[in-house]
Amino acid sequence: MGYGLGFGGLFSSSYFLLVFIPAIILSLGAQFLVASAFGKWTKVRNRAGVTGEQAARRIIQTAGLQGVQLEGIAGVRTDHFDPSSNVVRMSQDVATTPSVAAMAVVAHELGHAQQYAEKSIFIQLRSFLVPAMQFSPMISYALILIGLLFNVAGFLQLGILFYGVVVAFMLLTLPVEIDASMRGLRLLNASGLMQDNDDVGGSRQVLTAAALTYVAAAVTALLNLLYYISLLSGRRR
């Protein structure tokens, strides 16, 4: 049974006002803060004078993360931890620059390494959803579009359920990233790399700005989900 949703429901003025425009504002605002924080603290030398790679090696030794390997990777702000190979990959600027931003970035990624080593509950919950994330986004969008195009509520409902998996993953990502940043700050302290106010304040600013990108993504996904639900429930009245 259809509910007369119509394809236009996805791109109505309500969608642009309630979802699209807020999402753009959030995304651009988060990107601006990240660019501003990195731009400022990449130019400020950390007091210890260590590059990102040197900071990572000191943290690995201090925190007992000897199994973690370090590799380079192309690009800008492409740094990440790969749990499948237990490797922290660092962009060239981070690996070779003795800046506050560089040591903050590697500390965050090693925070992820520590999460996996300690089997953090946040990591375990998110990892549980990783296989579903390989197909849920595409299936959800396809089902939602079919439901709207052909007024088939069953497809829309299924699409919303699959999209709910995406939203759950995004929401679980927030505590994972926040916890990794908090761990990163503790790792910097424990390894003796927090030596002055710039080290402390700059590291916090960089990691806070980076976390806001995940907040923006999660809020955007949640807004989309609520809008899809409103389309379905509105036609049922």
The residues that are catalytic are 109
Give the separation between CA 18 and CA 26, rounded to whole angstroms: 12
Task: Let me know: does 46 contact 233? Beta carbons within 8 Å.
Answer: no
Closest among 40, 179, 191, 60 to 102, alpha carbons compared: 40
Tokens in use for 194?
């927090």
Q: Which residue has the tokens 């999209």?
A: 163
Exposed e or buried b for every residue in 49-88, given b needs 16+ CB within 10 A?
ebbbbbbbbbbbeebebeebebeebeeeeebbbeeeeebb
Give the separation between CA 210 and CA 176, rounded to whole angstroms: 13
The residue type found at 170 is M
The Cα angle at residue 157 between residues 27 and 169, in degrees rounded to 5: 40
Closest among 42, 56, 17, 45 to 191, alpha carbons compared: 56
Q: What sign results for the dihedral spanned by CA atoms 188, 47, 203, 54? A: negative
Task: Let me know: does 65 contact 117? Beta carbons within 8 Å.
Answer: yes
